[in-house]
């Protein structure tokens, strides 16, 4: 279990968010809506922070908002990921 400010995560998941740079149109909507502030645009390339597995709130807004269908999302491995004790 990793506590990071106001979030808790159980580590050990496989990767669960992927971005296809060939499909991405750099619109930046994923950056706009991510509550955990995990997306970056550096030199016109959009990417997710390397340690996203320890910070992602699993809302899937990035996946939902992407009209280019460049973001693939599934939930983290069973029994891992964000924990809401007071959800």
Which residues are near another protein by CB under 8 A?
5-8, 10, 14, 32-37, 57-61, 63-65, 67, 73-79, 81-87
Minimum CB separation of residue 4 from another protein in Å reads 10
Q: Which of 13, 27, 30, 37 is nearest to 72 (CA)?
A: 30
Smaller CB separation from another protein, 26 or 74: 74
Cβ closer to another protein: 45 or 75? 75
As a three-state string, the secondary structure of 21-69 is CCCCCCCCHHHHHCCCCCEEEECCEEEECCCHHHCCCCCCHHHHHCCCC
Q: Which is nearer to another protein, 47 or 77 (CB)?
A: 77
CB of 46 to another protein, least distance (A): 15
Q: What angle do CA 22, 39, 14 make, to 5 degrees?
A: 80
Query: Cβ of residue 74: shortest distance to another protein, in angstroms?
Result: 7
Report residue 3 as tokens: 């506590």
């Amino acid at each position: 279990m990793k506590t990071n400010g106001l979030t808790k995560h159980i580590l050990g998941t496989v990767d669960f968010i992927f971005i296809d740079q060939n499909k991405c149109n750099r619109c930046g909507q994923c950056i706009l809506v991510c509550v955990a502030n995990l997306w970056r645009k550096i030199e016109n390339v959009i990417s997710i922070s390397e340690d996203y597995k320890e910070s992602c709130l699993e809302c899937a807004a990035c996946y939902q908002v992407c009209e280019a269908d460049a973001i693939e999302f599934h939930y983290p491995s069973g029994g891992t990921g964000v924990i809401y004790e007071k959800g």
